[in-house]
Structures are given as structure tokens and as C-alpha cells.
Amino acid sequence: MEATNTDVLPENLQTAEDFLNFFNVQYDPEVVQTKRVQLLRLYHGVLERYDPPLTIEHYRKAVRIAYGSIKLGQELAFADMGCGTCSGCDV
């Protein structure tokens, strides 16, 4: 599924910190610095599970879920995020 309606977000959001700050998510800079790629990967994975068109609330929820998962150590480093090319994956 293609995430749509990205025009609801400011164009200057580029880093994990940008997203966290924009959505007022309190975060530990050390966690974000060491898990930046996983955080953004989980964020995009959560967005892919929503039906388009995406709203600002979808983006807000995705950021909070992704950071919460990272903070709790629940990130899946090699999880299939919906590509459909793997077999035997539980994600």
C-alpha cells in the first residue's frame, strides 16, 4: 500500500528528531541517536498499515508507536514490513 497525503506534513521534516519534535513526543536523544534507522523504518511500517488517505493523526500515531516500540526494545531489525518477498515471516 502506498502512503498518500504527505502534504499534511511540513516539508522540513526530515530527521527522526524533526518528526518527534513536530508531534511533541518526548524522547531520549541517546535512544534516537543509536536507533534512528530502526525508528524511521518502524514509522514507515506503521504508516503502511493504514488505509489511505492518511491524515495528520495517522502520522502522529505512527511516530508515537515507532518511538514507543524502540524505547521498549521491541524493534524488529529484520522484520518484513510488507514487501511480500519473504516466506515464513510472522509480521
With cell 491524515, the residue in question is 55
Calpha distance 9→16 (Å, rounded):
14
Higher pLDDT, 13 or 5: 13
Residue 16 confidence (pLDDT) above 50:
yes
The three-state secondary structure class of 65 is helix
Mean pLDDT of the chain: 82
Residue 78 confidence (pLDDT) above 50:
no
Residue 90 confidence (pLDDT) above 90:
no
DSSP secondary structure code for residue 67 in this structure: H
Calpha distance 90→70 (Å, rounded):
19
CA angle 42, 45, 48 (to 5 degrees): 155
